[in-house]
Chains A and B, each alone.
Chain A
Amino acid sequence: MDYDKNVLEIIAKIIPRIVLMSSQKSKATDSIDVCLLRDDTEQKSAQLLKNAIKANYPKGIKNTPINFVISDFDNANACRHSQITFMFNSNNKKIRETVTVLNQFQLLTMSYDEKFLEHGVGLSLFIGKKVVPYINTQAIFDNNIEINNMLLRVSKIYQKKN
């Protein structure tokens, strides 16, 4: 699948910052650990995103280095030590199961596609006339994670459809 480069660029900028703008910051004392989950077919895209993050933050943020774990959805346990997990596109079932696993570790979860917010992903991007963070506050609060107010202010809040 082809991902929009501009969107990936925004995601690359957002991922490490969201860690530091949430209660996950307390877990990132030595490094910011980012976990990228993808299907086997998205290996290249995952690598692109990793490079994009490194390009944006070559020395990390505030001298905190950024470490990466790239794994497939079946090995979601590999993300247990990270503060945020980004999920590339996959089928709904896999996403839903992965979210269930990741929720055990109380992580921030983020997906490329906003439709996965419906399956419990905490964060995505809303792409309309403009691109803004799209936050599933319910999912995040369920994992006992707090988000910076300013971030909430610039973001779109996801409302689950009944």
Chain B
Amino acid sequence: MKTIKIEYKIIIGIFLFTGLLIGISKYQLTENMTQQYIESQKSKNNLLLNTIVPIIALNLSLGLDQSNEEYLGYIGENNIDLESIVLLNSQGYNLYEYTKTLSNKKLQYQLYDQDILDPLTQEKIGKVKLYFSDQNYQTMLNKNQEITFRIIFMTLVLLIVFTFLVRREFRFLKHLSQNVCNYDPKMNNFNLSKTDRKDEVGIIHNSIVVMVSKINTYAKLLDETNHSLELKVQKRTQELEISNKKLLDLSLTDPLTQLSNRRHFEEHSENIYDIARREKLSVSIVMCDIDLFKKINDTFGHIVGDEVIKQVASLMQENLKRTTDFLARYGGEEFVIIFLNMDSEGAYKICQDIQESLKTLKNYQTHGIQIESVTLSFGVSSCTPQGHDNYKELLNKADLGLYKAKNNGRNCIVINNI
């Protein structure tokens, strides 16, 4: 079906609505006229009744019955809608009756009646009944009903036409709106294509189709951008993790020997000590110091001193076989080892192994300088952690052992258990 532009629909609607208003106005006008007619008929009939009653009353009181008959006959003939006149005496008997075509169906007539009073004594001497035809009224009423039915019929027709037009538009718009509501740019599930309709609904439909197409394009672009961003973020995250690890390593590692530094040792020792306490295992700490290192420094310089420290650290690390054995540079030429699940004898044995390994460094050359020998002093302390004691106490004991070893002439191992 060919589409009609909205402005034409509005114009048609206005015309139809105007027609409806005119119909309603006409009906209202007819209704008012009918009411006015009824009122004027009532007034006229009452006026007639009020006019004839005094004359009838006088004639009755004077016994001029013939005058009444003639008078009422005259009244009846000269009032088109007056169908019947009935004159009754005070006892209710018929004195006179004038009838045109009055049928038995008196309900179709408008009755106006009035008691007749004696003009002198005001006693009731009769009653007059006037029957007026309501044919004209019925005709007007029928015409008005006909107009009403026409208006109702027209209204129904207009309603059906409007409903058809509006439903047609709404069906199209509903389909469009359902597609818009269900549209998901990720699923790209908008199935409508451009329409050939040239009216406003068609324009809106095509605009939405174009808009959805643009959204699809931008959504795809956005997806690609997001993916690229995700890759970049992932890469940056990895770089950050590496940097963090490096920083962490730097913060925990001694840059010269690549061993753990004192801070790392302290953190690690607390954990080891807690494990030992929980598992009721023995813990040993070894404090170690390069003997006469100041002399090496003073004699050969710091570069050689540093090389010595690196060599010693490497040898010590090589002698630690278990993954739980933890070696750290404690500071300067001092090293510290913590052993989990190892008593002082075990630790002592490892210290001996280290001393034995040091012999390989006898008369070794570095930076063109001959170093005769490097020796180490060891302080060993062991315990099985209990209660609230901590590793620092054990460390102090090991340090005290180291002090004793220095006092004992160096290059020796002193066990100083708690």
Binding site for B on A (CB under 8 A): 9-10, 13-14, 17, 20-21, 61-62, 129-133, 150-151, 153-154
Contacts and interface: CB of A to CB of B under 8 A. Distances in A.
Contacts of A62: 120-121
Contact of B61 (A17, A129, A130): A17
Given A129-B70, A130-B69, A130-B70, A150 B54 contact: yes
Contacts of A133: 62, 64
B62 A154 contact: yes
A14 B59 CA distance: 10
A132 B61 contact: no
Top 5 nearest A-B pairs (CB, nearest first) are A130-B66, A13-B63, A10-B63, A130-B67, A14-B62
B49 interface: no
A21 to B, nearest CB: 8
How big is the B interface, by class? 10 to 19
Interface centre among A20, A151, A154 (most CB of B within 10 A): A154
B55 interface: yes
Q: Classify the interface of chain A: helix, strand, loop or mixed.
A: helix
A134 B335 CA distance: 168
Contacts of B55: 150, 153-154
Contact of A13 (B54, B62, B69, B70): B62
Interface of B: 54-55, 58-59, 61-64, 66-67, 69-70, 119-121
Contact of A131 (B58, B66, B119, B120): B66
A61 B121 CA distance: 7
A62 B61 CA distance: 13
Nearest to A154: B58
A151 B61 contact: no
Contacts of B62: 10, 13-14, 17, 133, 154
Given A129-B70, A130-B70, A154-B55, A10 B64 contact: yes
B48 to A, nearest CB: 16
A129 B66 contact: yes
Contacts of A21: 119-120
Interface centre among B55, B61, B69, B120 (most CB of A within 10 A): B120
Given A13-B61, A129-B66, 7 more contacts: A61-B121, A130-B66, A131-B67, A133-B62, A154-B55, A154-B59, A154-B67
A20 B67 contact: no
Nearest to B56: A154
Interface centre among B59, B62, B66, B121 (most CB of A within 10 A): B62
Nearest to B63: A13
B375 to A, nearest CB: 169
B5 to A, nearest CB: 77
Contacts of B119: 21, 150
Contacts of B64: 10, 130-133, 154
A13 B118 CA distance: 13
Interface centre among A62, A129, A130, A153 (most CB of B within 10 A): A130
Contacts of A151: 58
Contact of A17 (B54, B66, B67, B120): B120
